[in-house]
Amino acid sequence: MDAPEREPEAIRSFLHPAAGAFILGLDWLLFGGTAATGGAALALSVVLGFLIGGLGTGLIQRIVAKDRAGAALMKGLVAGIVVGLPFPIGGTIVGGAVLASSGLDQLKRRSARALLEGKTRPKDGGDSAP
């Protein structure tokens, strides 16, 4: 009798991985080109980062991660502040904290493990003896 397949470990994190990717992507989008404008767009980028980052993260946490409304609101507020910081966070300790708190740093390792496990299992589910 075959052993039942084990469910993959759920990523337990403060933020949903989609929220982490959203925060980092939006920050890169808003502040990656700030130097090209000579800082003229900085004020607009800060306000848009706070509003879009906070609202988007709050919705992801509420709808996708199924957080309570209060928890989703608080996480959205923190994300809005982080995205609204007037510099790109990608290579900073703030960006590292977003990666770690959303489980994005674990996704690569988990994907590699899943690929390796898939390649080592027989495709027909049974013994592959001739």
Distance separating alpha carbons of residues 21 and 3, to the nearest angstrom: 36
- Which residue reads 């879009």 in tokens? 52
The lowest-confidence range among 49-63, 69-83, 104-118 is 104-118
Give the C-alpha separation, 88 to 28, whole Å.
Answer: 6
Average pLDDT of 94-120?
82
Mean pLDDT score of the chain: 83
- pTM: predicted TM-score of the whole model, two decimal places: 0.73
CA 127 to chain centre: 39
Task: Convert 8-47 to b/e letters by CB count within 10 Å (16 or more is b).
Answer: eeeeebbbbbbbbbbbbebbeebbeebeeeeeeebeebbe
